[in-house]
Structure formats: C-alpha cells, structure tokens
Chain A
C-alpha cells in the first residue's frame, strides 16, 4: 500500500458554450479558481497531470504542451493521461499513484475539453478502426442504446418501466443542476417533454443525452505532510479501481459488465467497503445517458441486477434518497469530456468536505466518483473519504 493521498481542493470553469475565451484561457479559468480555493502557490507544485479526449476534438494535438504556460508547468514534469471518457478519473488515479509512491508531495491535476469548437461524435468515431466497427457504431448514443436495450431484454424489464426510470433520472438531474453553479444545462422538465423529445438512437431521446460542453476542472492532490502544512480541510483517497475489456465491442458481455463491476470491486476492497449502498453517502456516477446510469447502479452493487428501475422510481437514488447519485446534475447536464471524470472526483471531494453548497448532501463522509471510456471498454472508480 502506498502513502496517504489528500485532495486539497478544486476549481471549475462555468461550463457551457465558451466562445468568449480561447482554449488556454478557458483552462486557466479553472486553474485560477483552483489556486485561489486551495491557497496553493503554483511555484510549490512538484508536477502537473493533464488530459483530454482525443486531440481531434479541438484540432490541436498534444494540448498539454500548448497549455504548458497556464498549467504553470515551466521547469516541472508534466504527465498526460488520455483514456477517452474516463480521462478525468484516470487523471486523478495518475496523481494518486504519483503521490502514493512518495515521488511527489504536491500536484495540480487538470482536465479540459472545448467541444463546441469541433464535432464531438465525429471525433469519437476516430477511436474506432476504419476496417470494421466504425460503420456500425453511431458515436456514443449508438453504443449505449445497444447496451441498454440488451440489458432490459436480458432482465425482462418492460420497455415502459425503463422509459419511466430514465425519465425520472432526466427530470431529477436537470433539476439538480440548478443547485450547481458550474452546470451547463439546467432545465425544469415534465415527463411528457422527456418522453416525446426527438429520438437520437431509439430508445434514447434528446433529454436522455448529455450536452456538448466547453469546460475545465483543476484539482490539487497532496501528500499527508503537505496537506497538513496547507491546513485546508481535505478529502482522502480511500480506494481506486480501473478495469477494462477487449477492444472489440462484440467480444465481451456489456450487461454483466466486467470492467464496471471489477473497477468498483477493486476500489471497494481497497476502501474496505462491503455494502456500498449503506457505506457510501453519495455517488457521482458517470451518466452521459440516463439509460446507462441505471446499469451502473447494478454493476456497482447499489442494487441487484434488474432492480435499478424499480428503486429509481422509488427515489432511492434521488437527492433525498438513501444513496443520492449525481446531485450535481452529473454528466447528463455537463460534459466537457476530458474534464468530466475529474469533475466527478472534484464533486465527490466537495461533498465529503462539506463544500458542495446548494447541492451538498448533509453529513456526507464517503463518496464514489466514476467515469467510463472507449466503446464501453474501460471503467474507473475512486472512493473518497472525509478522514
């Protein structure tokens, strides 16, 4: 086991369509905010960890070099981590490894995306080889629709019930986003609006899908010694898990989804969690699609397989439920992809340190953060605690 690792604090941009700033300036908005919130002097950083989605998203490759100035990285080591949608959690895990190894005491971790400047689905298609899969996987919605459809049929969940549960999540999260000052899409929705919205990839409709966001998130990770010196209320990394599957979409079961189940199990084992629903106070589950969020509840052991719809409709995972999920509005309301997973970690840290403001879950002591990358290929989980 490595050394203890603390999260001192974070900063986020106002996420949305940000043509008011050039990309490095957008990244800087999160960093400025992070340094102010944590009181860290950038001169004291031992290194910087940065990541995004594939470079084609913004038309510039190796953006960590482009952003070196605002990353305050001159004269310092810089690491780039890039794992598609799970980039943000991978960034946090990279920083965790670096400090847990004893090789650094103070790091800044930054994830970003300026998606409105390019074409998100076209970029995502470039993660597929052009021999075979690219012709059949219609960006992210196509993949997630197939997965959700297979899940509901396998467990015999009536289509109408899945629709109702997805609608409940969509309404809740878009409403929760009003409590999150950084969220991109905030909307009061009626069931009818969600259920009759434009079809993207059947049965996924417009309000089941995350937006295209510009945004960045910056965080400070520290050793125990440095965290004490900084004197801020810190969140502590209790467990990490990252697990994957074969590249080919048809090679593995995406319902009894091993990478998601394994990633959570690794993190729970490390954190000593036996019953996640009881022992977690809040979860920031990566939910670019309402339908997929339901499956994650089951893969993460929040409930048994086939139960997520019923429990969601009973309010188990609502803001005032037994295990509140995505009280920030989650990825469904804000998705600057390279930042998204890191935002989950930042939100979890805010929750366990009592700094989540209007979307604070009262008394939260232990939280889960999660993100997924590739064509349903890799999942990453981090558990944070107040102590």
Chain B
C-alpha cells in the first residue's frame, strides 16, 4: 500500500497596521523633504545621533536639539545581498551599508548605489571601507527613508 502523506493547511496572516512616526521622526522625515539629514544632539554626552531620536540611549537624557549633518560620509561596512525572501522591501542585488556621515557620531544605514552590481568580484574591487559616499535624492519626496535613493561614491 502506498504511504499516505499527512495533510497540511495553507495559511496566511495579514494584518494592516497604522504606525505613528511621532514628533521626532516626523521632524526627521520633514528634513528629507528639504533634502536635509537631521540628527539629535544629546545635551549631556554631546553625541550627534542619526536618525533623530527623543532620547539618548547612553545618558538617558531627553533630546530636543536637532542638528543638520553632512550628506557625505565614509563607508564603515557593507554587504552585497544576492538572495531574496518573502516580503523583502528592497530587491536584490543591493548593497546595504553603514555610513558615518560627517558631523554625526553614529553610523547611518542605507544603500550604496550608482555602481554596477552584476559581478560580486567587481563590486568587491570597487566598494571599500573608508570610501567617501554622498546621498542621492529621489526627485519625489514622500517623507520616507527611501527619499534618499542611495549613497554613491564621491568622484
């Protein structure tokens, strides 16, 4: 007799959310509409934290001071992603990177673009830690993290 497979049920959980940006992130993304990258300066340790936040995680101090940081910085680390999973918000291949923007004390996560990503060996020769990169903005602003298209190497 043929072995009978146990049944499976196909299921999907879909739940809509309406998530509040709140005052601080609204201010941060309002900056994007003017092509500005804003950080928060802690009144106690003096560090400039990007993206903006209302609270310093090290000093436990409330932060109210916003400061503009540079749109240029250096690559701290990067990874070329070559695989895809369900619901992935950015389609591969792409380079996610930590970028230290001039005038900030934290590393900013974003994409490295404006280069050919088709050959990983070639990418490895092109993209280096310490390399200077600069924000490239989307012409249309939605008050969203992808208003910055990516960071491209400074020529």
Contacts and interface: CB of A to CB of B under 8 A. Distances in A.
Contacts of B11: 59
A136 B96 contact: yes
A192 interface: no
Contacts of B92: 138
A202 interface: yes
B98 A146 contact: yes
B80 interface: yes
A19 interface: yes
Given A20-B6, A135-B145, A141 B83 contact: yes
A142 B79 contact: yes
A285 B8 CA distance: 35
A130 B50 CA distance: 16
A202 B107 contact: no
Given A122-B87, A141-B83, A201-B82, A251 B49 contact: yes
Given A136-B111, A137-B109, A250-B109, A146 B81 contact: no
B129 interface: yes
A202 B80 contact: yes
A206 to B, nearest CB: 10
A286 to B, nearest CB: 20
B87 to A, nearest CB: 5
A122 B77 contact: no
Contacts of A145: 79-80
A199 B85 CA distance: 15
Contacts of A133: 109
A19 B7 CA distance: 9
A149 B88 contact: no
B137 interface: no
A132 B57 contact: no
Given A145-B79, A202-B124, A138 B107 contact: no
Pairs A-B, 10 closest by C-beta atoms? A250-B107, A145-B79, A150-B77, A121-B85, A138-B81, A136-B96, A202-B80, A122-B86, A146-B77, A246-B57
A120 B96 CA distance: 20
B120 A202 contact: yes
A248 B40 CA distance: 14
B154 interface: no
B19 interface: yes
Contacts of A251: 49, 57, 106-107
B57 A135 contact: no
A147 interface: yes
B90 A250 contact: no
Nearest to B96: A136
B21 A250 contact: no
Nearest to A122: B86
Nearest to A245: B57
Interface in B69-115: 76-83, 85-90, 92, 94, 96-98, 106-111
B88 A137 contact: no
B100 to A, nearest CB: 8
A131 B21 contact: yes
B82 A202 contact: yes
A182 interface: no
Interface string A194-228: 00001111110000000000000000000000000
B85 A200 contact: no
A145 B98 CA distance: 12
Contacts of A250: 50, 76, 98, 106-109
Contacts of A135: 89-90, 111, 145-146
13 contacts: A56-B13, A122-B85, A131-B19, A135-B89, A135-B145, A138-B81, A138-B92, A138-B96, A201-B81, A202-B123, A202-B124, A248-B106, A249-B107
